[in-house]
Chains A and B, each alone.
Chain A
Amino acid sequence: MDWMETMLAGFGRRLISNCEQTGSLVLLFWETCKRIKDVSWAETFRQMARLGVDSLPIVLLTLLATGMVFSIQTSREFVKYGAQASAGGVVAIAMGRELCPALTGVVVAGRVGAAIAAEIGTMKVTEQVDALRVMATNPVTYLVAPRFLACVLMMPVLVVFANAIGNLGGYFVATYYAGISNYTYVHSIKVFAETLDITGGLLKSMVFGAIIATVGCYKGLTTEQGAEGVGVSTTASVVLSIILIFLSNYFLSLLIY
């Protein structure tokens, strides 16, 4: 029964290390919240531009494509069943509530979360994080808090743009390809979509922003063993962020809608 013991031990070790990691993540999140009051706004704005504005093109491209394919699949079917009056609304609600926040989250996790983990990870292995501490500067205040704020504040902004372009893509496909009239499509959005469909999505995106920044910074700050370690941290940060985004998305959707 040796193999079984080995297997159980391996499983147990993973479980313990995952619990430890969750605990450390929560602690880092808590410490970041406490230190936000001391944050440098100049640095926060710099990070907002770097992490937020620079992510706009890829977010727009992703959500334009999503809006278009979503509209191809729904509009045609809706027309088949004579329900073209619902097409615009369905796209708008799906975009606002789920697709825009979740997909923006995934894209930003891949782009920004990875960049944060790589940047802070490199600083960690080259002793720059130690240099900060030695110079009486708290790495959480100086490195984590501005990135955290930047992600939390810029995610909703990105999602607003994502909604706009997603619905635009949906509109073009529905009117040119499925033959739904301009009026029917726009009217359907007005009838079906409510403010909460958008604001709920924006709220979710702020949580995703917090997850991306906290996980990226945590993975960066716990990087070990040189260049290889930075690679491991970067990958791990993207994977963990995406898992947490999907998990929290489920519960947030239950809670909000």
Chain B
Amino acid sequence: MAKPLIELEQVRLAFGAKTVLQDVSLAVEKGETMVVIGPSGSGKSTILRLIIGLLKPTAGRISVHGEDVASYGEEDWNRLRKRMGMVFQYSALFDFMTVGENIAFGLRQHTDKTEAEIEAIVLHMLERVGLAGQENVMPANLSGGMKKRVSLARAIAVQPDIVLYDEPTAGLDPIMSEVINNLIVQARDEFGVTSVVVTHDMDSAFQVADRIAMLYDGQIIAVGTPSEISRSTDERVHRFVHAGRETAANTEEDRHEAQQ
């Protein structure tokens, strides 16, 4: 079996006395979508920040594209980051640029493509995410869901091998969540993108995941396919994965009883 594209081995991260992650080990294979679930504040987003070098681990080993990145400085990281993309929780669009300029940013910075080629890619990307004709709008004039889609278009415009998604559906209505989920699946199927998605939206997790890892109290307590996770006997996993549904089912039953 080929070496995993992203690998964390016994990674520990602490800010002063506060330990955020302890002994996290996780391997993401090429072309798969790994979803990391877990309660808020469990350190999910931190994992993404470690994978793309925004944070350095206190201890442990991280490898990306088979390169041991623990000792990497900004220059080495930038070489790797040209093949990576990230969708931030609050989109993090550059607010002093138009939507089109945001999507073109990576292409303008790191490729020799002509303006005409870049414009064609921008228009194509906007069409893919269902925002055709919005290239001259400023990000401030977009809704949350539109910003997310622009952010996604910006991340995949440079055709990265790895895309990291930080809470891609948080704060979106169900229909917009569905749109985003489809885009994540499309990115994998069409471009063979390897993805790590951090979310606490279970519907989204089960829709996009090839495998799911559950993070709890700074540790990975379960990894498996969606059906394995769904059938997990670990109480913490079971409660987290089924919480919303059981509550919904209970209220349904209650209502039923009340009616009788």
Residues of A at the B interface (CB closer than 8 Å) are 122-123, 126-128, 130-138
Contact = CB atoms under 8 A, between A and B. Distances in A.
B86 interface: yes
A127 B92 contact: yes
25 contacts: A122-B95, A123-B94, A126-B95, A127-B88, A127-B89, A127-B92, A128-B92, A128-B94, A128-B95, A130-B54, A131-B88, A131-B92, A131-B94, A132-B94, A133-B54, A133-B74, A133-B81, A134-B52, A135-B81, A136-B77, A136-B79, A136-B109, A137-B105, A137-B109, A138-B74
B255 interface: no
A138 B78 contact: yes
Nearest to B158: A135
A138 B92 CA distance: 16
A134 B81 contact: yes
B193 to A, nearest CB: 15
Interface of B: 49, 52-54, 74, 77-79, 81-82, 84-86, 88-90, 92-95, 105-106, 109-110, 158
A134 B54 contact: yes
Contacts of B54: 130, 133-134
Contacts of B89: 127
Contacts of B52: 134
A123 B95 CA distance: 8
Nearest to B109: A137
A134 B84 contact: yes
B106 A135 contact: yes
A44 B93 CA distance: 21
Nearest to B54: A130
Given A130-B49, A130-B54, A137-B105, 8 more contacts: A123-B95, A126-B95, A128-B92, A131-B92, A133-B53, A135-B105, A135-B106, A136-B79
Contacts of A133: 53-54, 74, 81
A123 B93 CA distance: 9
A35 to B, nearest CB: 11
A45 to B, nearest CB: 15
Nearest to B81: A136
A135 B92 contact: no
Contacts of B105: 135, 137
Contact of A136 (B82, B92, B95): B82
A39 to B, nearest CB: 13
Contacts of A135: 81, 105-106, 109, 158
A122 B92 CA distance: 11
A131 B89 CA distance: 11
A134 B50 CA distance: 11
Contacts of A132: 94
Instruction: Indicate the member of A135, A137, A138 with the most B CB atoms within 10 Å.
Output: A135
Question: Across chains A and B, which 4 residue pairs bring their CB atoms closest together, nearest first?
Answer: A127-B92, A136-B81, A131-B92, A136-B78
B128 to A, nearest CB: 19
Contacts of A137: 78, 105, 109
A182 B109 CA distance: 58
A134 B88 CA distance: 10
A196 B11 CA distance: 61
A2 B257 CA distance: 66
A231 to B, nearest CB: 18
B90 A127 contact: yes
B215 to A, nearest CB: 21
A111 to B, nearest CB: 18
Instruction: Indicate the member of B74, B85, B92, B109 with the most A CB atoms within 10 Å.
Output: B92
Contact of A130 (B82, B85, B88, B158): B88
Contacts of B77: 136
A132 B86 CA distance: 11
Nearest to B106: A135
Contacts of A134: 52, 54, 81, 84-86
A114 to B, nearest CB: 17
Contacts of A131: 86, 88, 92-94
A123 B74 CA distance: 19
A126 B92 CA distance: 6
Contacts of B95: 122-123, 126, 128
